[in-house]
Structure 1
Amino acid sequence: MPLTRHEREEFLAEPHIAAISIDSGDPGRAPVSVPIWYQYAPGGDLWILTGTTSRKAELIAAAGRFTLLVDRVEPTVRYVSVEGPVISTAPADREHIRELAARYLPAEKVSGYLDFAAREQGDQLIVHMRPERWITAELGSL
């Protein structure tokens, strides 16, 4: 059964690990799909971070849009898939990285992650997407 607008937005606002899918740009290949952290507040746009020179950044720039899928299996099977256009990109700062890390990691690990990100991940790009098309389901306790 499809979720209501309120249910789907509340579910997407929870800190799930998402799968992002982006057109590979190659007619002989399927879309590129990888796990990713994201940020979303009900009624707004969502955003992700990626390396400024990453393949994801290049593919997102070329495609101009992407799909994000989040799901769970407990306490019931539920998923939300949202697709839409990229509405802005900008260099990410330490506060963007902190916000995203704090969403997914225990508080005591955020500082260590920030040090790791600065040392290992290089410059990051914040990519904002406007949710345009939603596919949702609540499948109950299968």
Structure 2
Amino acid sequence: MKRVSAKLKAFPSRFQAAYYSKSPTMPVFSRKGIDCPQCAEFKTRVKMEGAAHLQRTLCHVENAVSLGILRDVGKEIDPAWSESLAECRALGSGRDRFGWYDSLSLYFECTRCRRRYHLRGDTYHGNVWWEQAVQ
């Protein structure tokens, strides 16, 4: 293992991961320790801690889709079982901007590096995850 200089220790772990290109903490699709600058803000795996967290995540994703950072590819990948962001928006009512059924499956793709993300889970029992999809 390489020694870490005092200057490198002052940086956040993301820069340390870029320094160690074979670090076990690196995301699945990063190439030589460099993340795509366009979709780097999206974490590799996050568990939703409730309906409010899922609402905030869907708002964040909708904003990224409108800015052209992500593309909704759910119907292209799995037309029978996957929903689209527009369907979740149509199910929303009242103060909730988005709605969903008992199970949720949404796919998104970075428009630059084509990295895919999957928002999926059992919303009835509260087991929903945002994670990178294996291609």
Larger of the two Rg values belongs to structure: 2
Q: More strand by proportion, 1 or 2?
A: 1
When normalised by structure 2's length, the TM-score is: 0.32
Greater RCO structure (CA 8 Å; 6+ sep): 1
When normalised by structure 1's length, the TM-score is: 0.31
